Amino acid sequence: MLARSVSKGGYLGSWGFSEGEPRTSGRGVVDFYRRTHVAPFAKTTTRADVRGSPGIRLLRQRRRFALPSLFHEDFLLSSASPERIAIIGSGLAGLTAACTLAARGYAVTVFEQSSWLGGKAAVLREVGFRFDMGPTILTVPSTLRRIFTEAGKQMEDYITLIKLDPQWRCFFDDGSALDLVADENAMADNLEQYAPGTGTAAGYKQFLTLSDRLHTISDRYFFWKSIGGIADMIDIKAGFSPSIISDVFKMRMGRSVAGTVRKYIPDARVAQMIDHFTQYVGSAPDASPAVLCGIAHMQTSEGVWYPVGGTRAVPEALVKLARELGVEFRTNTGISKIIMDDAGQKATAVQTESGEIVPVAAVVSNADSVRTHRELLNGTAARAKAKFEKRRKYEPACSGVVLYLGLNKAYDHLLHHGFVFSKDPEAEFHAIYHEGKPAPDPTCYVAATARTEPGTAPAGGEAMYVLVHTPYLRPGQDWKVMFPDYRQVILNKLKTTGQMPDIEERIVFERSLTPQDIHDRYRVLDGAIYGIASHGKWIGAFKPANRSPDIKGLYLAGGAAHPGPGMPMVMMSGWIAADVLDRDEAAPRIRPRMNEQAGAPSSRTTA
């Protein structure tokens, strides 16, 4: 019998990697490269020298920088070297940027405020249970593969992925259930049985045809490049060809996800299921642009995957690669300020929360893009901050309540991923996105990881992750007061629509996160899980560009930057930030690029 250990407060502990850095050794073919490229700026002093104007401390610390095995050589490079690139934050986007830049020959230091690496992709381990704390669904694995290809590595040497099909199991208020399967024809057959005679099956196939077209357009104009608005999508020098004009019209600008879905899907329950492809971006389907319907094809074409070890295995794999490439990690080192040159136009250093000034060649901020401008650039780049604020309204995406429930007995009717749907999605979205209140009848996303990896729970048990979307933090909301009642609302939903009537009796371990916890733990905008909302039928798909248009040497990555939230998108965001920094030649290379044959990426490549 498992001991009962239930705590209803927010869980704010820390989990992560040990900070021992790898070293390589040997001598040989790099002597000339060392003399000409490394020696001019490698620092051998061991402790701090004070340089510059009063109050500015340049701390040159002895740091060991591990070269890839290609060179078999040790050398010293100060983390305060102006040739280094600083990455603020070690979320998936920051780790992707670090690996990509290091593979292309740059010296990289990642500054992480927490004791663990990986941002929201943290892990909770207690009394035999293991929970992914943040993202739990991995789609478009070709994006992850791309990062390893940059370094000439095989993804399979770092991480093992299991394909999940059916991808979801959906539970509806009428007591019915429906599985989402990857194969289009098989899914259409399922829909004909689930909603016979309604035209839903044929409509689903037509919807996927549209989704495929939108995915193609996104790949052509939107993905893998720094985009901040529609003007960035089109090469003006190439002119406006008929195909470009046709593609613009096919984007269905001015139309919503919800309206587009219901044009093809007459059955309300199936439409509700398809709406939730866009919940990866944490926005209301009736206010989000129709181009986001392309997400459906991205998921059905490449599938839904589970990394063995949980989604936590993704940052672990990236950290391993980064260390092999010589990336330096400084945990428990938050950044309080990005410092500009005298003209206020270029980022030249970062300041840690302890006051250390670290000169750098360029900065990639994996911190929330809005908070980057409002906090890290506050007082150092007033003009750039003002331009950023005038560009658009930055509405936070939704937040959420997460329950980590250790059960002493699993539910056999669950799949790995599931949705327990609300009775009235319009009322649910209206409460969350318009009234700014938790929905009285919410949709619950449920991950039951022991279905795929039994080791996440004691024998016969279940490590259940439950996420319910809520509004971002609003004035006057006190989640310490609100949480107990809303927790019961969630459990009641699982008991009824989720067909788990005795769930409370099965809970032997419990932790939780509220919107306030998420805000404090991850320093996101008003507790938003998914960065900036994608609301706006014309411009809702656009986020701040990865290359800052206002500050030279500043690049943005993460869910609050282009192309937006979700595991594949944030990794793509980190890749784009690294790629444009490289194209801008914003920092000097310290060694040749690892893989000159990497080629142009596409989200449509095979996994």
Q: For residue 447, which of 257, 297, 268, 312 has the smallest C-alpha distance? A: 312
Q: For residue 541, which of 224, 289, 260 has the smallest C-alpha distance? A: 289
Which structure tokens are listed for 295?
Answer: 């997400």
Q: What is the pLDDT of residues 171-217, one digit of tens each?
A: 999 999 999 999 999 999 999 999 999 999 999 999 999 999 999 88
In the prediction, which pLDDT does 217 show? 85
Q: What is the pLDDT of residues 359-387, one digit of tens each?
A: 999 999 999 999 999 999 988 898 999 99
Grade residue 550 by pLDDT with cuts at 50, 70 and 90: very high
Separation CA 303–CA 312 (nearest Å): 19
In the prediction, which pLDDT does 2 show? 40
- The arithmetic mean of pLDDT across residues 343-356, rounded, is 95
**14-32 burial: b if 16+ Cβ within 10 Å, else e:** eebbeeeeeeeeeeeebee
- The arithmetic mean of pLDDT across residues 427-436, rounded, is 96
- Is residue 24 over pLDDT 70? no
| Domains defined along the chain, listed by start | 46-121+145-152+311-392+538-584 (3.50.50.60), 182-306 (no CATH), 398-527 (no CATH)
In the prediction, which pLDDT does 3 show? 39
Q: Higher-confidence residue: 429 or 220?
A: 429
Grade residue 243 by pLDDT with cuts at 50, 70 and 90: low
Contacts of 283 (CB under 8 A, 6+ apart): 397, 398, 433, 530, 533, 534, 535, 540
Helix and strand numbers, DSSP H then E, in the chain: 18, 23
Contact 444, 466 (CB under 8 A): yes
Grade residue 9 by pLDDT with cuts at 50, 70 and 90: very low
Separation CA 7–CA 51 (nearest Å): 50
- The arithmetic mean of pLDDT across residues 78-100, rounded, is 90
Separation CA 117–CA 15 (nearest Å): 8
Handedness of CA 587, 588, 591, 595 (dihedral sign): positive
